[in-house]
Copies of this chain bind each other. A is one copy, B any other.
Amino acid sequence: MAASAPISKTIYIGPFVHSKSLSELEIQEHGAIGVDEDGIIRFVERSLQDGSLSNILQQKGDDWADANIVQITGTGFFFPGFIDTHVHAPQHPNTGLFGKTTLLDWLQKYTFPMESSFKNLSLAHRVYQNFVSRTLSHGTTTAAYFATIHVPATNALADICLKRGQRALVGRVCMNSDLSPEYYRDQSVESSYADSKASIDYIRSIDPKGEIVKPIITPRFAPSCTPDCLSAMGRLAKETDAHVQTHISENKGEIELVKELFPDSKSYTDVYETHGLLTDKTILAHAVHLSDEERKLILERKSKISHCPASNTAITSGCAPIRSLLDEGHTIGLGTDVSGGNSPSILENVRQAIWVSRHLCIQTSSDAVKLSTEEALFLATRGGAAVMGMEDKVGGFEVGKEWDAQMISLGVVSEEGCQDGAFEEGPVDVFGWESWSDNVEKWVYSGDDRNTVAVWVKGRLVHETSRYPGVKRASTP
């Protein structure tokens, strides 16, 4: 389905679940959510009982009389689309490959060779089409993508996101220092600036209002850029008022390297500050080993943090102290960080965020550092929305927000115990005696993409599986 096709007014009927606050989920068993032709939520009903659809239709007047109806049929619920605040689309083919490396040697061995191959535009098309399909299939409705240094391939990723209807910040990667191999880096500060600007201009030309895709200025990380290159990116951020994304304080070796390369800076964070890159539209990925002063500065600048737990574990970077960053008031979302992270699924990263916080608890013997299920789901939705500057648009189900949502469907075990072993309904087993909060917990701790049977962005269906029950009309008896 093309993202430009018109959509119909639709009422989504069935249980819905979203974050009420950082620590609380709202679970409504008898929901009905009306979404208009622009993909905007127009009403949210919480007590729809059997037979009351006609009442609702009557209340809402003629406007909704012939609306489409999408109804949960088995055991399932609507949940806000996931937001991936940090992901490298060109590293998709390297998912699961790290051997025995950690950050700096992993970049040289796996990442730079793969990314450099994106000068081949047909390869870029193949990988990006597949990856956008993958992330949509996991319920990711919005992503902040790092692309590569190549303008044509970066623009192709933006085209694909726009066509497929996935909200995205798409960034051409800027890197000109000799940390990167000669075969894969910007040739000069001037070309860094010009190429980044060219990609920003292109992305703004294909979606002038930035409803689906927007550009994001993407200096890879401090060691990848010379000081004047960072300054040029800071200037570009000011001139274009664009988002900014980069990495920060992921791994101890990297922090030492930044100290060596920027001896006059007070800290890693100060490098970005002094080059004009610490804005309220900046997304800082990782933030594992920040000092108190750095945390304070990030808070003052209203920059945002992307927590990438699977990646931080896989490449042995460390455990970001998310619970205390939240207490300080930081704005935090989750990132898959493919392919430092081994999964394109934000649901997997919800689990991993919880596991990482439990490992912090094991290290510190303090229960206070643990993230709850509710908190991790908040980070995956409303937290991520705030990181992307979209908290007024997406992340939960309120009137006026846009319908970015996934339909979750859980497998129900037959009375005989489904002996055929096919399990096409996915990995969750519901026996029928569970509470609604148990159902949600089962999905969080054992669900996967098979449980995401349909996905919408701004009211448009952008992914469906064979288990999506489809649409009927309100006017059909």
In the bound complex, do residue B314 and residue A355 qualify as a contact, i.e. CB atoms below 8 Å apart?
A: yes
A172 to B475, CA, bound (A): 58
Task: Say yes or no: A96-B417 contact (C-beta < 8 A), given A362-B318, A429-B130.
Answer: no
Q: Which of A421-456 contact B (CB under 8 A)?
A: 421-423, 427-429, 431, 438, 441-446, 448-449
Q: Which of A130-174 contact B (CB under 8 A)?
A: 130-131, 133-134, 136-137
Which of B413, B448, B463 is A130 in contact with, Cβ under 8 Å?
B413
Q: How far is the CA of A81 from the CA of B363 in the complex (A)?
A: 35
The listed residue (B97, B129, B318, B427) touching A442 by CB distance below 8 A is: B97
- With A313-B355, A355-B355, A359-B313 known to touch, is A128 a contact of B97 (CB < 8 Å)? no
> Once bound together, how far apart are the Cα atoms of A419 and B314, in whole Å?
28
A108 at the interface (CB under 8 A from B): no
Contact A429 B372 (CB under 8 A): no
B465 touches A319 (CB 8 A): no
Residues of B within 8 A of A415 (CB): 126
Q: Tell whether, in the assembled complex, residue B429 and residue A362 are in contact, meaning their CB atoms are under 8 Å apart.
A: no
CA–CA, A388 to B124, complex, Å?
Answer: 48
Q: How many Å lie between the Cα of A64 and that of B413 in the bound state?
A: 42
Which residues of B lie under 8 Å from residue A362 when comparing CB positions?
A: 316, 318-319, 359, 363
Whole-angstrom distance between the Cβ of A25 and the nearest chain B Cβ: 13
Q: Which residue of B lies closest to A465 (CB)?
A: B422
Say whether, besides A362-B318, A423-B134, A129 and B417 are in contact (CB < 8 Å): yes
Point out the residues of chain B lying under 8 angstroms from A292, CB to CB: none
A97 CB contacts on chain B under 8 angstroms: 438, 441-442, 445
A selection of 6 A-B contacts at a CB cut-off of 8 Å is: A96-B445, A99-B441, A126-B413, A129-B418, A129-B419, A314-B445
A185: chain B residues within 8 A (beta carbon): none
Q: Is A420 part of the contact surface with B, judged by Cβ < 8 Å?
A: yes
A431 lies within 8 A of B314 (CB): no
Question: Which of these, B125, B419, B422, contacts A417 with CB under 8 Å?
Answer: B125
| A residues 336-374 in Cβ contact with B at 8 Å | 342-343, 351, 355, 358-359, 361-363, 370, 372
With contact pairs A137-B423, A362-B316, A418-B133 given, residues A100 and B372 touching in the complex (Cβ less than 8 Å): yes
| A311 to B422 alpha-carbon distance, docked (Å) | 26
- Verify B100–A417 contact, CB threshold 8 A: no
Chain B min CB distance to A411 (Å): 10
In the assembled complex, the CB of A348 is this many whole angstroms from the nearest CB of chain B, namely: 10
Q: Does A92 contact B (CB under 8 A)?
A: yes
A416 within 8 A of B: yes
The answer to whether the Cβ of A127 comes within 8 Å of any Cβ in the partner chain is: yes
A95 at the interface (CB under 8 A from B): yes
Does A74 touch B at the CB level, under 8 Å? no
A208 at the interface (CB under 8 A from B): no
**Residue A469 lies at the interface, judged by CB distance under 8 Å to chain B:** no
Whether A93 is near chain B, meaning CB under 8 Å from some CB there, is: yes
- A423 and chain B: residue at smallest CB distance: B137
